[in-house]
Structure 1
Amino acid sequence: MLEQLVQLDTDLFLYLNNLGTTTWDPFWMFYTTKFYWIPLYAVLLFLIYKMPNPKIFILTVVLIVLMISFTDQITNVFKKVLVMRLRPCHDPLLEGLVRLVKPNCGGQFGYFSGHASNSMAVAIFTGFMLRYRFKYLLYILIAWSIGMGYSRIYIGVHYPLDVLSGWVFGGLSGYMFYRLDKYFQNRFRMR
């Protein structure tokens, strides 16, 4: 059963990865680069700052930093200790079949995607936090995270299952930290 799932994942990866063209490569490289999303993160932080209780903004920022650190570290534990599944661009069985868009492959192991988990955690946390003012922001941020996950397949560094697992873990983490933030906000208001 597990072998069939891995084979299906590999087949889906090869199909999606090989849909790419040199015309779209610059777009997906731009999309997958975290640096270019700093303006989005700044806008989201500004919107959180403008919430009805800006006094607890620092606490929220600390929780966001902890959330990203948490998703990053758990991702690394899965990649480097628990699963150790080779990235498709490092897999010798796929040599010559993978369209690697970036100049290098990255770390040796790829299960699960840190980009997918971090972006989904940010999407869920921020989307829930700001839903009282921006009704559709959660859906827009989830779509952004889906694009982030797809970009990892497109450029050749993650299998679809890496990305899907990252989204699930990131979504759960984002919601958990959102609930934790709400808990601390309520405790802070009581004093």
Structure 2
Amino acid sequence: MPDFLLQLDRHCFYLINHNFSNPVFDAIMPLLRNLRFWIPLYIFIIAFVIWNYKNTGVRLIFTLLLTVGVADYGSASVIKTWVQRSRPCRDEVIATTIISRVPCGTGYSFPSTHASDHFAMSIFLALVFYRKWRWVWFWTILWAMLVSFAQVYVGVHYPVDVTAGALFGTLIGTLFAWLFKKYHSQFA
């Protein structure tokens, strides 16, 4: 990564990790990045889709799971192992200044798999349902952005990591939504 971009990334990280610090975010952000926190939402999505769309709903959920699986594998097992960028909490230049709100994590940093997965899900759902419910865009993108922001706030990812994860997830979500809509005309 070019030095100017690395310095900008570190500066933005510090701004979010330190300057946005407050007791409300300290309580909420670790929850927002925890997958278990979102289990009720995942259950709602599954139940809602299957209840309203029956067999097509089952195929939709299967495609959504496939979307997340590809985004997760692509970011965590392919890109991260190729790039091998250390997490901020392991960056020798800034590690001692970080406010760590969760454990550092064991893997690499680039791209954020949380961002990849949540943007893949949100973009997929938004593209599939936007004709029926236009407001779905706002809520799904807000959800993915909050999870991504939380990754930086708690100290486990740089802003470039979550941006790259968001772009990768958006690409995967768009691809799978297009494939799903191609074979299910009621969503076209």
- Fold conserved (TM > 0.5)? yes
Alignment check: 8 A CA contact 1:85 1:111 kept: yes
Separation (CA, whole Å) in 2 of partners of 1:14 and 1:165:
18
Separation (CA, whole Å) in 2 of partners of 1:118 and 1:108:
16
1:21-170 counterparts in 2 under 5 A?
21-51=22-52, 53-78=53-78, 80-102=80-102, 104-170=103-169
Give, in angstroms, the shift of residue 177 of structure 1: 0.6
Give, in angstroms, the shift of residue 78 of structure 1: 4.6
Give, in angstroms, the shift of residue 133 of structure 1: 2.7
Give, in angstroms, the shift of residue 64 of structure 1: 1.4
Unaligned runs of 5+ in 1: none
Separation (CA, whole Å) in 2 of partners of 1:62 and 1:23:
36
Amino acid at match of 2:182: Y
Q: Secondary structure at the match of 2:184?
A: helix
Aligned residues: 185
Superposed CA deviations along residues 8-66 of structure 1, whole A, max 9, x for unmatched, are 11111111111213443111111111111111122222332244x53222222221121
Alignment check: 8 A CA contact 2:49 2:61 kept: no
Alignment check: 8 A CA contact 2:49 2:58 kept: no
Separation (CA, whole Å) in 1 of partners of 2:99 and 2:79:
22
- Normalized against structure 1, the TM-score is what? 0.89
Unaligned runs of 5+ in 2: none
CA RMSD, 1 decimal:
1.8
Q: Once the two structures are aligned, what percentage of the paired residues are identical?
A: 26
Alignment check: 8 A CA contact 2:152 2:159 kept: yes
Q: Secondary structure at the match of 1:96?
A: helix
**Residue 15 of structure 1: aligned partner:** 15
